[in-house]
Structure 1
């Protein structure tokens, strides 16, 4: 019985083994000879990257040049003493920050010595006038004497003529004729002497006139010196650099202070040659364009209007570019003062048929990615015209096409992407072509182009006043893709000021 049971179990195991062997063989045969239609479905699927896109739209834009400069007083008067002496009067307003109005007394120097000199000059003039009057009277008398001598000579000539006539008729004697001849000669000699006296008196009168004029000049000089003992404000202004003290001794041409007109403020700033060329008109002269001066007071930034005024004719040693001046329009004295560092926004001429795109959409050599057929990327070159903060103004682009707003390392021509239009861009898309771009919003960090970054790095490395640890700190910040805005503005202001 047991033997039969073991035989049945062995047959069952053998049958199961044979069934599994046949099943495996069938699967192998089907795999080797079956259809290949599912091979494509088992191949890996291409990955599609999601990218933000925008549409290239033609616009007319006004590029804005960003610059940094220093405020200066356009109307600045150094108060210098024209005479030497003791300061006997200084008003309360004559101090740093003191405000004065036109015509107000600024200072007075002791006039005693100059008053005496003025009075002496007056007496000298009076003396010269008296001498001149005397010379005129003497000349008049000498002329009368000369006239009398001339009449006497004429009589002697007539007497001689009668005696000569009588002598020819045999009536007069030779002795009478000789006497008449001698009298005539004596009269002529007397006339000559009187004429010489007249000439001498005329010369003395001219000398007296010259002496009077010299004394009058000396009197005017004394009066001018006396008037220079006090100084009055020629215009409304604010005093600075005051060094004068009541009772102090001052010398000639010593500076006592500086008077600044707070209503006449200008800003001096430097531009590169290319930037300066964009501000010229058709005649090659600087356009009198309206610009904006940004004044920082803590966290508040105030915009002050200004107008381009002129260009310096020469470069200072160690400076490059062009030094340009702009005059502030009706500045607020409580807000601006000479010496402040400011930022400037200078509009250029409008550019037509251009597009404004993010700087992250274009490589440094001017290539951008477009969305092509089947959402595959295409790369095209563009013309970079201007950098505007974090944006670029470009030309020669296929308007109407969509482009990738931010390039990434994994993106390139032929890559399949999934385009996404940001909701904010669709909601705020402009309905009309703007004439002037809105300024980029302020941010804690900004992206620098290679030129700006290299200029700041060179300035820091060349500085011999900065501590090594500070240099290392700033250079580390400048090595980042995004640099703190405060650091950039600080060093660009120092570069503009030549520090």
Structure 2
């Protein structure tokens, strides 16, 4: 009985399962037939509208600013070298690294004993040469007197000869007397020639004495110059660098002692591209004297100096491109040769250009403007200059149009947009920097760190310490100092 009952239950469950499967198949078949028999429904198409930030394009006169990086250097740099060999016996108190000296100040002395002895010897030689010259001139005077006497004797002897000849012609004198008078006249003429030779020798002696005196004076002047070279003086007011000697050291000729740098004659040298250089030329091809600003970033602020573009490099260096320009700095307080600064050069003004964000321009030189029915149009423009995150453009169909500020791959000509003109409003100027009130302990720690900072110029230290001594200190200054303290 149990086996029969279990068999009937199994048969019942099997039948029920088959029935459910048949019912499910029928449901699937009816659903497929209904789906196939239904007409397809096409959803209503809706155009997508994009919201874009736009700004009006207004033509104006803009003065572009060219930004470059350069190095501050001094226009007057002089190497101090010893002209002679010797021992340094004296140095000026300011003859140290960073010392300031005035024009004409004696910076160092070399032991002048040997040079002064040589000067004394040359002065003695000059005295001897002058005495020799005086003696030679007196000898010339005596020889001239002797020549005059010999000529007078010759004239007397000649007249005596002529008298004897006249007497012999009148048969009064004898032939022997005539011959004797002729021999006497000849001897007198020979004495004149001898006197002339002596005078010539005396005059030659004067010339030799004059030459000797000139040489003695040259030697004396050279000795005096070497004595003067024992004193090393400052050619101009400057600051010393690379000082490499101390008192008592023996230096050789042409040895470098220090380098003089004029801190008030500073200029900045920077490199620009050839295209940027061409923009700074006038109609005659010469460099414009345009204003220049040099900036050096420091703790909590910048050092700023103004100047004028003065000249360009004569040639392009080997393996380099562009042009090297030099700008003279007028007031450069705090700047030192070797500072790496940012240079802003004011270019000639550009008329009728539109200033727009750089994101509005595509690589093909076109911008998107809002046209009729608020659909985008592509307008070709000419890129005049890039200024940071902005561009300066020109275009015939650009003035007064609303330009899309940020292009995306989804935007293009013919796309319908919803302009957002409020985004083009200029941002409000930043508020005044946050000021902090420091505790005495915190203020003391910050001031001690600044005073012990190595490599910070003295002018910067004084400025920062002055800020820290105030009741309220800029938060940016405090944060930068504490960040370095933590490092």
Same fold? TM cut 0.5: yes
What is residue 330 of structure 1 aligned with on the other side?
331
Asked if 1 retains the 8 angstrom alpha-carbon contact of 2:54 and 2:423, the reply is no
Asked if residue 252 in structure 1 is aligned to residue 242 in structure 2, the reply is: no
User: Once superposed, what is the RMSD of the aligned Cα atoms?
Assistant: 1.9
Distance in 2 between the 1:302 and 1:239 partners?
23
Asked if residue 347 in structure 1 is aligned to residue 339 in structure 2, the reply is: no
CA deviation string 1:233-267 (max 9, x = no partner): 22221111000111111000000001111101111
Asked if residue 357 in structure 1 is aligned to residue 356 in structure 2, the reply is: yes
- Using the size of structure 2 for normalisation, the TM-score is 0.77
What is residue 120 of structure 1 aligned with on the other side?
121
Question: Would you identify which runs of 4 or more consecutive aligned residues in structure 1 move more than 4 Å?
Answer: none
CA deviation string 1:272-301 (max 9, x = no partner): 111111111222111222211111123422
Question: Post-superposition shift, 1:185?
Answer: 0.9
What is residue 291 of structure 1 aligned with on the other side?
292
Question: Post-superposition shift, 1:155?
Answer: 1.4
Distance in 2 between the 1:270 and 1:371 partners?
41
Distance in 1 between the 2:169 and 2:382 partners?
125
What is residue 404 of structure 2 aligned with on the other side?
404
Q: How does 1:154-165 map to 2 (within 5 A)?
A: 154-165=155-166
What is residue 494 of structure 1 aligned with on the other side?
none
Q: Secondary structure at the match of 1:422?
A: helix
Asked if residue 139 in structure 1 is aligned to residue 145 in structure 2, the reply is: no
Asked if 1 retains the 8 angstrom alpha-carbon contact of 2:143 and 2:198, the reply is yes
What is residue 371 of structure 1 aligned with on the other side?
370
Question: Post-superposition shift, 1:170?
Answer: 2.1
What is residue 98 of structure 1 aligned with on the other side?
99
Asked if residue 231 in structure 1 is aligned to residue 232 in structure 2, the reply is: yes
Question: Post-superposition shift, 1:426?
Answer: 6.7
CA deviation string 1:131-160 (max 9, x = no partner): 111111111111111111111111122222
Q: How does 1:199-218 map to 2 (within 5 A)?
A: 199-218=200-219
Asked if 1 retains the 8 angstrom alpha-carbon contact of 2:88 and 2:110, the reply is yes
Q: Secondary structure at the match of 1:156?
A: helix
What is residue 472 of structure 1 aligned with on the other side?
none
Distance in 1 between the 2:239 and 2:66 partners?
33
Question: Post-superposition shift, 1:330?
Answer: 2.5
Distance in 2 between the 1:279 and 1:423 partners?
35
Q: Secondary structure at the match of 2:331?
A: coil
Distance in 1 between the 2:158 and 2:325 partners?
89
Provide structure 1 residue ranges, at least 5 long, that are not aligned to the other structure: 1-30, 33-38, 429-437, 439-499
Distance in 1 between the 2:313 and 2:151 partners?
76
Q: Secondary structure at the match of 2:425?
A: helix
Distance in 2 between the 1:296 and 1:151 partners?
99
Provide structure 2 residue ranges, at least 5 long, that are not aligned to the other structure: 1-37, 430-487
Asked if residue 188 in structure 1 is aligned to residue 189 in structure 2, the reply is: yes
CA deviation string 1:354-398 (max 9, x = no partner): 111110000123111011110111111111111110111111242
What is residue 265 of structure 1 aligned with on the other side?
266
Distance in 2 between the 1:281 and 1:172 partners?
109
What is residue 18 of structure 2 aligned with on the other side?
none
Asked if 1 retains the 8 angstrom alpha-carbon contact of 2:54 and 2:424, the reply is no
CA deviation string 1:460-490 (max 9, x = no partner): xxxxxxxxxxxxxxxxxxxxxxxxxxxxxxx
Question: Post-superposition shift, 1:423?
Answer: 5.1
Q: How does 1:458-473 map to 2 (within 5 A)?
A: none
Change (3 A) 1:188 1:77: same
What is residue 152 of structure 1 aligned with on the other side?
153
Change (3 A) 1:346 1:260: same
Question: Post-superposition shift, 1:163?
Answer: 1.8
Distance in 1 between the 2:175 and 2:315 partners?
97
Distance in 1 between the 2:229 and 2:331 partners?
33
Q: Secondary structure at the match of 1:329?
A: strand
